[in-house]
Structure 1
């Protein structure tokens, strides 16, 4: 960042450059944007791939969207290109398949936090639907960042997925917690949200729909399986 340049200004500059660049330039920009962390975390491939995941989202949301010459890449293909492009990661290319597999296994062990948001009548709960074609409805939630508190993660994820700030409504003692396999899930109970609240996701290509659903209609149709899907 140049002297006197704000983080927002730097982000706008990077985005503008990536719009104008070809594929190789966009790749270099992504790599340069996250390079400082590679040297600090090169011995922790899980953390590196989490950062590469963010770089992948940045590439898809900012580069591909504004440059028709760039093609959309799967995260695995994007990761492979980044390993080939960065000198600190290049020695590990031969092990990339194992690194990628370990990362996916690791992701299923990262704790998840979110919220069950009830309207002011306690008759409806707020659900979000993912972006992909086969995405299902679920409570807004997501994986905790490193050293992040459960409630902080819940507030952040709800804000990102719905645009609703529940920080003042969240009670630290009101939550349900359970495990799915090796993954711990904590969902805080948020009450009193008005049904006419305007919701809008703050991230691109993550949430396709947000709506209230009657609680009575959710479980009888599919029983325990419906609950599992929502969680």
Structure 2
């Protein structure tokens, strides 16, 4: 069954708005695990506008499920992964001023750069995933880079889903087959929610993990955090029973 990793960046955004420690990011992460999350994802940015680097160090001491650190592989990110040794390091091509991730890596142009970075992260004991667009041309280079997994950038899927879910998922199904042939593990993330999650997972049964933050936290405002995590888990269980 596809695993759920909860991205807690938005919890940190709420905390930072008042400058104190409410909500407590570490406590929320532990509660997410207790409520059924199978992983915790963070994306520390250079300006620390949500997750701070100290948060990552504090979380690494207590997270017992899979700890996933996303980020652009600059010197500070690489040092953080070396110090923390998360279960998974997810590489995204975001510039420092990006509001959120909005595209995947061009694995053709950046193949040499990424190959060295992936090898270094793997030497720390991290599984490595590369954020990637659902375009076939990027998958063979990703394999040559040596990454363990790719994370499918799902914003285009989420945008088209309300109008034509079959058309929305088609390119993802196609590249998932390529990934399977190449022996690449598959993750997915960005704009996944309670409406579109189950259909994506039903369409790609080999999907190993989804990382969800913004929509999940928004839903938690109405349903409560524990109930919301269980609701997302049930969407993944629908996928499991279908396949």
Q: TM-score normalized by structure 2?
A: 0.26
Q: TM-score normalized by structure 1?
A: 0.27
* Structure with bigger RCO (C-alpha 8 Å, 6+ apart): 2
Higher radius of gyration, 1 or 2: 1
